[in-house]
């Protein structure tokens, strides 16, 4: 495994290992890929087709952030596989806590339940860790009220759902 950035086969292995250790193997197979076009986004999940994309720019040389981002996306996938709301719900936060992920989604309580057909943008202040959830692509110049640092898009949560015609043969 490259110290700098695991290759895609390593990511797939990490996914399988985390699935077994932390999720009782309940997550169906997801393709794990890098998306070099993400400039300020660490990760993105798409349910159909099942795909988790990670940003090499954001995660290169940061194995712990890579682990946390992958686990974060896997919690979305796990809730979705269980037929639960896959958003940043209380169940999501419980699982984050169980896995020892930093509990950063403190102000998203009012955001659930999520409409399952939209994108949500998670914005983050890299100084204080404050996060915001936006429905629309945010303007580039939003700043943290506390310390005036520019807020970066940290994650895009994509809730694209199966089209009704194909829902019947969705595999769980
Ligand atoms: Zn801040
Ligand atoms: Zn998320």
Count CA atoms closer than 13 A to 55's CA, side-chain side: 18
CB atoms within 10 A of CB 143: 11
Residues 70-115: pLDDT tens digits? 999 999 999 999 999 888 888 998 999 899 887 544 333 333 333 4
Ligand at minimal distance from the CA of 149 is 1
Element (H, E) at 22: helix 8-23
Structure confidence at residue 160 (pLDDT)? 40
Domains and CATH numbers, the chain: 8-161 (3.30.2010.10)
pTM here is: 0.64
How remote is the CA of residue 37 from the centroid of ligand 2, in Å?
Answer: 19
Q: Is the dihedral of CA 102, 104, 110, 116 positive or negative?
A: negative
The region of weakest confidence among 6-15, 91-100, 131-140 is 131-140
């Amino acid at each position: 495994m490259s110290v700098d950035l695991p290759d895609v086969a390593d990511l797939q292995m990490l996914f399988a290992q985390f699935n077994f250790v932390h999720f009782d193997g309940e997550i169906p197979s997801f393709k794990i890929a890098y998306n070099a076009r993400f400039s300020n986004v660490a990760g993105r999940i798409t349910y159909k087709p099942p795909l988790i994309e990670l940003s090499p720019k954001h995660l290169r040389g940061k194995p712990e952030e890579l682990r946390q981002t992958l686990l974060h996306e896997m919690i979305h996938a796990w809730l979705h596989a269980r037929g639960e709301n896959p958003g940043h719900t209380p169940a999501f936060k419980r699982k984050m806590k169980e896995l020892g992920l930093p509990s950063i989604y403190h102000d998203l309580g009012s955001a659930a339940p999520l409409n399952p057909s939209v994108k949500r943008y998670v914005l983050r202040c890299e100084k204080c860790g404050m996060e915001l959830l936006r429905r629309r692509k945010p303007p580039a110049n939003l700043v943290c009220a506390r310390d005036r640092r520019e807020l970066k898009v940290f994650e895009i949560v994509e809730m694209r759902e199966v089209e009704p015609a194909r829902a019947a043969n969705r595999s769980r």
